[in-house]
């Protein structure tokens, strides 16, 4: 068996359909990083059922679909097809080639197919597990998985061997069986407890049933008294209502008379209101005329007074201003100035302005002379100042050059001294560094010996912690499983409880049958409860699958009530008719010797076609009902389908054929069609199933809760042990880490000291070289300084050797300052003269403007006096005209006032008549309202009475189940009260009686007295209170509890028998698993020692069982000791050693229990050439028994391969593949 081909479509980077043709041997897949090589490994794992997106190097499962690039759009699905050559029959399937296909759609859907036929994931996993390829995929060794193999727990390593040996699926099945056994044990415990509890409840419930029977008769007496009192209240309320209706007619007649009188008064009122409306315009018109004339008269009077006042004012002002020239002279003397005088003063100022302007010209000439003198003095000063500055700069340059040379010589000298000191300091640093390095190397050697001694004590701590951690994880997993089981059981129980309630509600009939069942379970006449045997559907057991057929064959009888006798059935019919409770079907016993309707039409079962059975054989029930049931089904045959029914009717026309779907073919009629509502038989069967499911779900929930408490306790204990082991291991690791840190620190100190000494020696050499260079530079600078000093001394007697004289420059500077002062004084004199001219010109302009203003003011005064005289004349004329008009309007106002008074008098008379009419209308309206209120109050009282009557009637219906007419007719105060029979203390039911009480016998009894009936009701209620709480369902519950006790007893025995069978099966599986694992472990351990010795020549490796005494649960530890090392802990191995150890374990498993093929993804990447050669030898050995598909970058690995596949990725992001058989290349 080997992988023959692999086809990828839309899987990751394989956008186009790509097929890899594979052959037995070693196939190497090569290519650059990122080209898609590992995608081939992911495709193999994916098609074999891998469900973890992270295992496929993705975030979600949709990441396996080609996501698109800049040149290629994304695809909607990914598909991988793997064809396996099964010619050796390794897979348990009758095909020489097996094709597995998996398809993933971007919408989230996923499909599996086996040889083109859709299948489940479980089918694929079960098929592959039989050939050693389990769910854990140990045949695929991916990148980074080698280290994961070493970091696995001992139990996980055991899983690798079990998977290769093919027993892992048996272990999973055993675990499922053990879970079922644990659930069965909890069920058994619960059933035992329930059986004991039910036995304890039977005694008290029997006593409650006896009390319920005694309370029946007392409740009948209380009901009769309550009915008579209620009928009395109802009759009295009806009489009061009828009296109120009679009194209402008189009130209505009187209200009609008053309403007619009110209508007449309102007509008279409307006529008077019309007269008032006609008189109102005349009054309004007269009043408006009087008001208009009076207003006009007042206006003319006001105008005349205003004109007189204006004339007086204008005349008085003119008298005051009539003085003429005398008044003008007085005005001028008080504040006015003569215009001529102002003009003369202005002329004098203009003459003074001309004189000042002539002096300004002289001041300007003096300023020009001062400016020229100042410019000449400043030019002479600038020339002398420049000459002195040039001489000063030359002397300063010579002094600066000498100082710079002296500073350079001093700096070089200081640098030489510092270099000598630095060289001495560096020599001391070299000595100290050498000493420090020696001390660090000595301390490093001492600590290295301590670390080697402490490493041996680490192994026990690692083993203790790993065991405690494994125990904790197992306990946590068990708690999670139990929690999920509890939640599932609770959900199932809630669903089953809801279904039970719904089915019980559906089984309650709404017709007379339900009434009979309720009375049988509750209160009735003596003996009636025993006469009702119960619903037929509850006493009938139907063979599974024939429920619909039997229900159709029985028809209405399927919902019938089984009665103990024909007499009881007749009495029940009377009760239904009295209660008007509808109709009911009842099944009664058949008297022996009476011919049945089906006699003569039955046939032996041997004459029936295949699959047909007589209806009586499909049902079982109690003996007292079976005769009646045989009468109904005697001629009925049950068949599978409609064709069989038609065939039966042709061969036996006297029989009735009923199909399993409920179609009925009877002589003369056919009934059937699509299925309708479920029958009582089907509902009863469904109810029993739902109750069983409810009990089973409750038991599962209880078992899960009990187990969860124990599991949580175990997890807490395991966590404490794990934390203690972890603390010990952390303390040891911390100690080792501290020692390692000290080793690294001392090693770093020694290396740092040696490096510092080497760097310092190089620095000392560089410092000596710089010191020689500085000494040569100092000699050169001292020679330059000597020459410069000699040149300065030689030129000291000339002008350049001292500072130049500055007396001439200072004299010229003072002369320039004097010239600037003379210029400033000339400018000030010119500015003063110009300002005096401007001031005098301004005063002359102001005097001329004042003269013009005074002349214009005198002209305006003359014009105002003439205008006031004209206005006074107009005011006199207006006053005279207003006085004449006012005299004429006074007479007109008096005439209009007389007309207004007459109109108001006439309107007042009409308004008095209107007031009288309104008073009459209000009086009659009040009387009508009073009658209306009285009628309304009576109506409200009658409505309240009707409500009371309705309440009494509703009480009769609710409390007694009687209509009002029946209540009054049978229990009214006009009926005699029958004599009461005595109630014995142990009275049973009320067989044959009516729930409402029997109709009173008018032939005997006493007259109705309300006080007597109230005492009778109180006495009955007192007796009921003395009995205490009564359980009306006690009889039915007692019978049901007895039946349940018998059923649970049989279930306990069944569970104990099933438990023994399961334990036998588990023991057989354990023996088989133990034997297979022991053989596989022995072979793997032997192979591991051999492989490890070949990969590590001189080294030692072995597999150790964590618990050799328990081969069913023991884990597997790996011990590896490379050559030349004493360590055994895998965590202390180097990266290459860890990889080789993991390869050794996997190869040992491969050799001990070979699988058809293996996939290796860069497992040799961390190996050197020597170890790679050893690994390749193992690959060649595996090639003889298995197919190897290797992802590699190593040329040595490619050389041992039988075929090469080159994988590359183009610029569009799509992977392409090329192949080459190496044997063909060798032949060419």
Average pLDDT over residues 1088-1103: 87
Cα–Cα–Cα angle for 948, 949, 951, rounded to 5 degrees:
65
Q: DSSP assignment, residue 604?
A: -
Q: What SS3 state is found at 1103? A: strand
Tens-digit pLDDT profile for residues 436-495: 888 888 887 777 667 666 665 656 666 777 788 788 888 888 888 888 888 888 878 777
Rounded distance between C-alpha atoms, residue 205 and residue 183, angstroms: 32
Best-predicted range by mean pLDDT (827-831, 921-925, 1222-1226): 921-925
Average pLDDT over residues 347-375: 79
DSSP letter string, 99-122: EEEEEEETTS-EEEEETTEEE-HH
Average pLDDT over residues 746-770: 80
pLDDT score at 356: 77
Are 461 and 725 contacting, i.e. CB atoms less than 8 angstroms apart?
yes
Q: If you compute the radius of gyration of the chain from its CA atoms, what whole number of angstroms results? A: 66
pLDDT score at 161: 83
Average pLDDT over residues 308-333: 57
Tens-digit pLDDT profile for residues 562-614: 777 777 777 777 777 776 666 677 777 775 544 444 444 455 555 677 778 88
Q: DSSP assignment, residue 65?
A: B
Rounded distance between C-alpha atoms, residue 12 and residue 68, angstroms: 9
Rounded distance between C-alpha atoms, residue 1123 and residue 966, angstroms: 112
pLDDT score at 522: 59
Q: What SS3 state is found at 1? A: coil
Lowest mean pLDDT segment, chosen from 376-380, 856-860, 1022-1026, 1084-1088: 856-860
Tens-digit pLDDT profile for residues 77-124: 999 999 999 888 888 888 889 999 999 998 888 899 999 899 988 888
Above 60 in pLDDT, residue 505? no
Rounded distance between C-alpha atoms, residue 470 and residue 460, angstroms: 15
Tens-digit pLDDT profile for residues 231-290: 888 888 888 888 777 777 777 777 788 788 888 878 887 887 787 777 778 778 877 777
Residue of 568, 560, 555, 500 lying closest to 528 (CA atoms) = 568
Above 60 in pLDDT, residue 323? no
Rounded distance between C-alpha atoms, residue 998 and residue 980, angstroms: 12
pLDDT score at 130: 67
Element (H, E) at 901: helix 807-955
Above 50 in pLDDT, residue 1212? yes
- Residue 1227, both tokens: 């032949």
Above 60 in pLDDT, residue 983? no
Are 727 and 465 contacting, i.e. CB atoms less than 8 angstroms apart?
no
Above 90 in pLDDT, residue 936? no
pLDDT score at 330: 41
Across all residues in the chain, what is the average pLDDT? 77
Tens-digit pLDDT profile for residues 774-802: 888 888 888 877 887 777 666 554 444 45
Best-predicted range by mean pLDDT (112-126, 681-695, 737-751, 846-860): 112-126
Rounded distance between C-alpha atoms, residue 910 and residue 278, angstroms: 10
pLDDT score at 521: 61
DSSP letter string, 934-1000: HHHHHHHHHHHHHHHHHHHHHHIIIII---HHHHHHHHSTTSPBPPPPP--TT----TT--TT-PPP
pLDDT score at 11: 92
């Amino acid at each position: 068996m080997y992988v023959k081909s692999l086809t990828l479509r839309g899987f990751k980077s394989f956008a186009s359909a790509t097929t890899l043709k594979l052959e037995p041997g070693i196939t190497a897949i090569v290519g650059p990083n990122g080209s898609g090589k590992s995608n081939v490994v992911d495709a193999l794992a994916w098609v074999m059922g891998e469900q973890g997106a992270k295992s496929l190097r993705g975030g979600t499962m949709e990441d396996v679909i080609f996501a698109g690039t800049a040149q290629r759009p994304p695809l909607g699905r990914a598909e991988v097809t793997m064809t396996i050559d099964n010619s050796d029959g390794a897979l348990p399937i009758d095909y020489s080639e097996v094709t597995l296909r998996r398809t993933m759609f971007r919408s989230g859907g996923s499909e599996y197919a086996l040889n083109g036929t859709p299948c489940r994931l479980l089918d694929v996993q079960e098929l592959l597990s039989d050939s050693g390829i389990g769910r854990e995929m140990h045949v695929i060794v991916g990148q980074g998985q080698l280290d994961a193999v070493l970091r696995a727990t001992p139990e996980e390593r055991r899983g690798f061997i079990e998977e290769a040996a093919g027993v892992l699926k048996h272990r999973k099945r055993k675990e499922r069986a053990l879970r079922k056994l644990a659930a069965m044990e909890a069920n058994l415990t619960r059933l035992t407890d329930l059986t004991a509890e039910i036995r304890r409840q039977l005694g008290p419930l029997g006593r409650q049933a006896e009390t319920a029977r005694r309370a029946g008769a007392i409740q009948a007496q209380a009901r009769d008294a309550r009915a008579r009192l209620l009928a009395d209240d109802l009759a009295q309320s009806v009489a009061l209502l009828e009296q109120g209706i009679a009194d209402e007619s008189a009130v209505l007649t009187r209200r009609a008379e008053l309403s007619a009188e009110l209508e007449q008064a309102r007509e008279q009122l409307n006529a008077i209101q019309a007269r008032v409306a006609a008189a109102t315009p005349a009054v309004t018109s007269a009043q408006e005329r009087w008001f208009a004339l009076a207003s006009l008269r007042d206006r003319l009077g006001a105008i005349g007074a205003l004109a007189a006042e204006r004339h007086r004012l204008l005349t008085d002002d003119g008298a005051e201003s009539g003085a003429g020239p005398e008044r003008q002279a007085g005005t001028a003397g008080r504040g006015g100035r003569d215009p001529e005088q102002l003009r003369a003063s202005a002329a004098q100022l203009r003459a003074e302005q001309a004189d000042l302007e002539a002096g300004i010209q002289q001041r300007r000439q003096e300023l020009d002379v001062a400016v020229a003198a100042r410019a000449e003095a400043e030019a002479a000063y600038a020339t002398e100042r420049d000459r002195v500055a040039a001489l000063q700069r030359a002397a300063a340059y010579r002094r600066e050059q000498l100082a710079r040379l002296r500073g350079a010589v001093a700096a070089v000298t200081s640098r030489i001294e510092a270099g000598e000191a630095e060289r001495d300091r560096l020599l001391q640093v070299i000595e100290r560094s050498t000493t420090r390095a020696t001390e660090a190397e000595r301390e490093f050697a001492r600590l290295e010996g301590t670390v080697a001694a402490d490493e041996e004590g680490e192994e026990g701590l690692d083993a203790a912690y790993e065991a405690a951690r494994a125990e904790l994880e197992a306990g946590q997993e068990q708690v999670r499983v139990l929690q999920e089981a509890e939640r599932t059981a609770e959900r199932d129980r809630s669903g089953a409880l809801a279904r039970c309630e719904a089915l019980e509600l559906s089984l309650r009939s709404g017709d007379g049958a339900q009434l009979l069942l309720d009375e049988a379970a509750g209160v009735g006449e003596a003996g009636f409860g025993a006469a009702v045997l119960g619903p037929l559907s509850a006493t009938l057991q139907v063979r599974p699958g024939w429920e619909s057929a039997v229900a159709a064959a029985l028809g209405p009888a399927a919902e019938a009530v089984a009665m103990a006798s024909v007499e009881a059935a007749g009495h029940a019919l009377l009760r239904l008719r009295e209660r008007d409770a509808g109709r009911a079907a009842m099944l009664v016993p058949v008297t022996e010797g009476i011919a049945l309707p089906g006699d003569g039409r039955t046939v032996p079962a041997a004459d029936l076609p295949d699959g047909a059975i007589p209806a009586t054989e499909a049902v079982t029930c109690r003996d007292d009902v079976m005769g009646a049931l045989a009468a109904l089904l005697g001629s009925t045959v049950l068949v599978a389908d409609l064709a069989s029914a038609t065939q039966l009717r042709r061969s036996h026309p006297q029989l009735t054929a009923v199909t399993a779907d409920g179609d009925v073919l009877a002589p003369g009629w056919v009934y059937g069609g699509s299925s309708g509502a479920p029958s009582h038989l089907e509902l009863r069967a469904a109810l029993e199933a739902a109750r069983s499911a409810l009990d089973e779900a409750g038991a599962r929930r209880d078992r899960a809760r009990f187990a969860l408490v124990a599991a949580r306790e175990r997890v807490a204990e395991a966590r404490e042990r794990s934390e203690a082991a972890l603390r010990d291991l952390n303390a040891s690791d911390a100690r080792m880490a501290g020692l390692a840190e000290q080793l690294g620190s001392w090693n770093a100190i020694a290396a740092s000291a040696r490096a510092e000494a080497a760097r310092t020696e190089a620095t000392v050499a560089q410092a000596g070289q710089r010191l020689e260079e500085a000494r040569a530079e100092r000699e050169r600078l001292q020679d330059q300084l000597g020459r410069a000093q000699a040149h300065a001394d030689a030129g000291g007697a000339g002008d350049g050797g001292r500072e130049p004289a500055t007396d001439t420059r200072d004299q010229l500077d003072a002369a320039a300052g004097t010239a600037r002062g003379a210029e400033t004084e000339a400018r000030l004199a010119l500015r003063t003269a110009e300002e005096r001219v401007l001031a005098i010109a301004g005063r002359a302009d102001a005097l001329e403007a004042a003269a013009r203003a005074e002349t214009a003011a005198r002209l305006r005064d003359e014009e105002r006096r003439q205008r006031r005289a004209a206005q006074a004349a107009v005011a006199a004329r207006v006053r005279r005209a207003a006085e004449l008009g006012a005299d004429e309007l006074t007479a007109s106002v008096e005439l209009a006032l007389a007309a207004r008074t007459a109109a108001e008098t006439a309107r007042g008379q009409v308004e008095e008549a209107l007031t009288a009419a309104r008073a009459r209308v209000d009086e009659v309206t009040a009387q009508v309202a009073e009658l209306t209120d009285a009628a309304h109050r009576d109506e409200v009282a009658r409505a309240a009475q009707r409500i009371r009557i309705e309440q009494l009637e509703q009480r009769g219906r609710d409390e007694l189940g009687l209509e009002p007419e029946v209540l009054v007719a049978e229990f009214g105060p006009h009926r005699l009260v029958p004599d009461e029979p005595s109630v014995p203390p142990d009275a049973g039911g009320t067989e044959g009686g009516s729930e409402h009480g029997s109709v009173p016998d008018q032939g005997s009894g006493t007259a109705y007295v309300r006080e007597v009936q109230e005492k009778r009701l109180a006495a009955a209620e007192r007796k009921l209170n003395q009995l205490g709480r009564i359980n009306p369902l006690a009889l039915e519950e007692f019978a049901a509890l007895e039946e349940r006790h018998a059923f649970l007893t049989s279930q306990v025995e069944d569970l104990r028998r099933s438990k023994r069978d399961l334990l036998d099966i588990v023991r057989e599986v354990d023996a088989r698993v133990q034997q297979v694992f022991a053989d596989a472990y022995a072979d793997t351990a032997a192979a591991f020692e051999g492989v490890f010795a070949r990969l590590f020549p001189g080294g030692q490796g072995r597999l150790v069982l964590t618990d050799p005494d328990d081969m069913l649960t023991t884990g597997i530890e790996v011990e590896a000791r490379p050559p030349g090392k004493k360590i055994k802990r895998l965590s202390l191995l180097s990266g290459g050693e860890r990889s080789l150890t993991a390869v050794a374990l996997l190869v040992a498993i491969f050799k001990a229990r070979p699988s058809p093929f293996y996939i290796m993804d860069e497992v040799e990447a961390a190996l050197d050439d020597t170890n790679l050669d050893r690994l390749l030898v193992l690959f060649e050995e595996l090639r003889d028994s298995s197919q190897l598909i290797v992802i590699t970058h190593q040329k040595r690995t490619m050389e041992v391969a039988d075929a090469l596949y080159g994988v590359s990725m183009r610029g569009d992001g799509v992977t392409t593949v090329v192949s080459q058989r190496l044997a063909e290349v060798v032949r060419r």
